[in-house]
Amino acid sequence: MYPLHLNPDYQQAAAPFTAIPPPVAHNVQDLRHLNHTSITLTMAAFPCPEAEHVIETTLEYTSQDGTPLTLHRFTPNTNTNTNTIPPYTSSSSSSTYSHPPTGVDGGPLRPAVLYLHGGGFISGSVAHFRKDIARYAHATGTTFFAPAYRLAPEHPYPAPLEDAYAAFEYLRTHAAELGVDRARLGVMGVSAGGGLAAAVALMARDRGVQPAIKKLVLVCPMLDDRTVLQKGDELEPFLTWTGEKNEIAWAAYLAGLKGTGAEVPAYAAPARVENVDGLPRTYIDVGVLDLFKQECSKFASRLWNAGVDLDFCSYPGVPHAWEWIAPRAPMTRKAIENRVRALREL
């Protein structure tokens, strides 16, 4: 086994952030503050498409418990975007139309992506990840929808998942008026959002939703509450999302189950699912120095063995969330290209 080491490009980019060790989070509020501070700092220098390339608007929808929530829509401006996905192709494997589908305004229906932001279930917002969403909307020419889902510990499981799934159902129910082709709907999630995205896909499968989700894109997804890093593990010095942070975040998210005697369900921690048959075509990527590398690779292996169409990419020398710290690194560009390619399969 080769010794672990940092990718040189990432190491150089991360130097300003690692010069002063961050404070240790002892509880969920500490961790939330630490996460928001680090996300704000890294995103401040993150390159983003010009505002005229992607137009952000908001919609209102209702979660499963009746809570009103905001759904952010990121629409690429096709007048400035040269990478637009065609509105309809008769050769699409999932399309059965004899004529191109149209919306209520008579315009063509287009693919769309439900994007679920990261933050360990306890932090983060659409505003924090706005630049990331705009990047993919601009690069693919696809409209992205990002729900402002509620966070633990104020709203533990199942509230964040119910918010995410309600947004998915909103897109399906209002597809025609939104100009969305329900047969070309993808779900994308980052970190904890990746765990929510996988859970949305599981729920849609179990509920027999048709047309099925066409593409599932999981970026360094947080899938397994059982992940524990042993003291002295060789991975420990490289982690940005540590075992201690992971334990605090999962405890907050699963707090609603504490004392009930119930097992943690697969909808809360998708790595626990017994049967992965019937999940949509899936793309997963993770850094080799990420705490989540084992749970991601195990989940990918199960998908592969079940015959699910899968792309799995692992990137050596980089930890969790490396791309926002080193957005111009060659490995980051490669990862973005791979994700865009996966999204363009819609």
The predicted-structure confidence for 64-93, as pLDDT tens digits, reads as follows: 999 999 999 999 987 755 454 444 333 333
For residue 275, is it within any domain? yes
pLDDT at 260: 72
For residue 101, is it within any domain? no
Average pLDDT of the chain? 90
Q: Which CATH number is 259's domain given?
A: 3.40.50.1820
The predicted-structure confidence for 223-245, as pLDDT tens digits, reads as follows: 999 999 888 899 999 999 999 99
| Residue that wins the pLDDT comparison between 87 and 36 | 36
**SS3 call for 181:** strand
Confidence band, pLDDT 50/70/90 cuts, at residue 135: very high
What lies within 8 Å, CB to CB, of 162 at 6+ separation is 63, 64, 65
Q: Is residue 101's pLDDT more than 70? A: no
pLDDT at 105: 58
For residue 3, is it within any domain? no
For residue 1, is it within any domain? no
**SS3 call for 344:** coil
Determine the longest span between alpha carbons in the chain, in angstroms: 61
pLDDT at 77: 86
pLDDT at 98: 42
The predicted-structure confidence for 267-315, as pLDDT tens digits, reads as follows: 999 999 999 999 999 999 999 999 999 999 999 999 999 999 999 999 9
What lies within 8 Å, CB to CB, of 312 at 6+ separation is 283, 284, 285, 296, 297, 300, 304
What is the average per-residue pLDDT within 151-157? Answer: 98
For residue 170, is it within any domain? yes
What is the average per-residue pLDDT within 109-137? Answer: 97
pLDDT at 103: 57
Answering whether pTM is above 0.85, one says yes
Q: Looking at this protein, which amino acid is placed at residue 158? A: P
Domain count, the chain: 1
pLDDT at 258: 76
Listed residue (292, 263, 265) closest to 192, CA to CA? 292
pLDDT at 89: 35
For residue 22, is it within any domain? yes
Listed residue (11, 48, 223) closest to 128, CA to CA? 48
The predicted-structure confidence for 171-187, as pLDDT tens digits, reads as follows: 999 999 999 999 999 99
Q: Is residue 210's pLDDT more than 60? A: yes
What is the average per-residue pLDDT within 111-130? Answer: 97
| Residue that wins the pLDDT comparison between 213 and 87 | 213
For residue 23, is it within any domain? yes
For residue 100, is it within any domain? no
User: What is the span of the domain harbouring residue 259?
Assistant: 8-78+108-343
Confidence band, pLDDT 50/70/90 cuts, at residue 11: very high
pLDDT at 91: 31
Confidence band, pLDDT 50/70/90 cuts, at residue 137: very high
| Residue that wins the pLDDT comparison between 276 and 106 | 276
d(CA 231, CA 3): 18
What lies within 8 Å, CB to CB, of 38 at 6+ separation is 17, 22
Q: Is residue 95's pLDDT more than 80? A: no
